[in-house]
């Protein structure tokens, strides 16, 4: 039996809720692309009360670039060198965050447009992406 428990926003990746709000404020869609099982990712997001528009699971490395192109992504965030490579392949600006297994240097070397310690940097990253002429995803 699945029980729903409220999770304090502090337990979510720092800056995540503000990052999602920035996407919504820009008129964009929130799409999660993960190598984790899609159904489990969806359950975790629901458990955390994080509304997203789409979840694409069981996708890794270059496969993520295919999804990025298909959904018309404007920006991408990841914590692994494979995420940076997917963004580069898709032609999408990528914010690398050092909350995962890879260092800032590794993310930068793999093609990150910018690197940050967490998602607090995402709203200004997104504004910069939009200001150079790429409309928000879904427009």
What domains lie within the chain, and their CATH numbers?
14-131 (3.40.50.1000)
Burial class (CB in 10 A: 0-12, 13-18, 19+), 72: middle
Q: What is the pTM of this model?
A: 0.84
- Written as six digits, the tokens of 6 are 């409220």
Residue-wise pLDDT tens digits, 19-49:
999 999 999 999 999 999 999 999 999 998 8
Residue-wise pLDDT tens digits, 47-103:
988 889 999 999 998 999 999 999 999 999 999 999 999 999 999 999 999 999 999
Say how many CA atoms lie within 13 Å of 59 toward its Cβ.
Answer: 19
């Amino acid at each position: 039996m699945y029980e729903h428990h409220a999770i304090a926003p502090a337990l979510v990746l720092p800056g995540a809720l503000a990052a999602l709000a920035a996407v919504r404020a820009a008129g964009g869609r929130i799409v999660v692309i993960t190598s984790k099982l899609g159904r489990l990712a969806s359950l975790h997001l629901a458990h955390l009360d994080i509304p997203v528009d789409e979840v694409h699971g069981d996708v890794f490395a270059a496969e993520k670039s295919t999804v990025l192109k298909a959904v018309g992504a404007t920006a991408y965030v990841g914590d692994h060198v494979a995420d940076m490579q997917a963004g580069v392949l898709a032609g999408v600006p990528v914010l690398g965050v050092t909350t995962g297994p890879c260092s800032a240097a590794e993310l930068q070397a793999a093609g990150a447009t910018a690197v940050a310690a967490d998602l607090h940097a995402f709203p200004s990253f997104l504004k910069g992406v939009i200001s150079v002429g790429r409309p928000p995803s879904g427009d």
